[in-house]
Amino acid sequence: MDRTEEWLEAAQRDLWAAMGCLRAAVVVADRAAFHVQQASEKLAKAALIAYGLTPERTHDIGEVVAAVPEDFPLRVRLAALDRFSAYAVVFRYPGEQRPNVPSVPEVEMWIKEIEVLKADFEAWLGARRGSTP
């Protein structure tokens, strides 16, 4: 497994964690939103790594995507994930100003969006390498 695949696997683990938060005996949608952000961040960083670039240590998805080469065909879709950047920290620390906790159906839609984008990324990666994912 190469570094890009390692980051994609890490993104998948965050998606599983997000789903687990929604299916727990006590639903924790705020923590699911955190894992959605983490999966999105890892997906964006995987795009950089696929181009041989080293991602900065940041949770700002927009900042990461800005460094992704313009010719990456999924760049616009990755950029749309920047809307999750705030979830990296907003629910983790008590006393912070917080947005409304997303609903379970809302987080489920986010997870599906990222799963589809990840599958498209893997297909692009396979085609780029001359193999099927």
Note the pLDDT tens digit of each residue in 122-132.
Answer: 999 999 888 64
Q: Can you give the pLDDT at residue 96?
A: 67
- Token pair, residue 65, equals 């995507």
Domain boundaries, the chain: 3-129
- The DSSP result for 96-109, as a single string, is S--PPPPPHHHHHH
Q: What is the pLDDT of residues 84-100, one digit of tens each?
A: 998 988 777 777 667 78
Q: What is the pTM of this model?
A: 0.92
C-alpha radius of gyration, the chain, whole number: 15
The two tokens of residue 51 are 């181009």
In 51-131, alpha helices (H): 61-66, 75-80, 104-129
Confidence of residue 37 (pLDDT cuts 50, 70, 90): very high
Please give the class, per CATH, of domain 3-129: mainly alpha
